[in-house]
Amino acid sequence: MFPSTLEYNRRGNANIWMDPHVSQAMLSAHLDPDSDGASRKPHIISKTIDWVAEQCKGTKRILDLGCGPGLYSTKLATKGFSVTGLDINPMSIEYAKKSARESDLRIHYECGDYLSDPIEGMYDAAICIYCDFGASLAT
């Protein structure tokens, strides 16, 4: 007998981002400068950060939700912002931390789910760039 539609659509506890293949594929997509698959192309990222910086004049602390490998966080930090990046993909966060150390940038990165994990700290602005169509608080 086939499972009912309700059984197929039941919400589970699996986390796709913990799958090493998926996590690595997403990181690779973020870092591909010729693709808009996970992050925008570098020239679009730069334009976006220029716009964010203009909107956040006088702002010191920015929270980058869904920061991936830190492409936007890095550019914000080089513009003088204090940045915290939060992403659910552990490989992307490890890449972001390593990149920040190598560039001598003081960016705080955390691996977590911004929909369910508590977010510590005070921020003047929060960004979630390039949408997150998979985000859902549905129960």
**Bigger pLDDT: 133 or 119?**
119
pLDDT (average), residues 107-112: 96
Q: Is the pLDDT of residue 60 over 60?
A: yes
Q: State the pLDDT at residue 25.
A: 84
Q: State the pLDDT at residue 139.
A: 46
Q: State the pLDDT at residue 98.
A: 98
**Bigger pLDDT: 72 or 13?**
72
* CA–CA dist 17, 31 (Å, integer): 17
Q: State the pLDDT at residue 56.
A: 94
- Residue spans per domain, the chain: 59-131+135-139
pTM above 0.85, yes or no: no
CATH class of 59-131+135-139: alpha beta
pLDDT (average), residues 76-99: 96
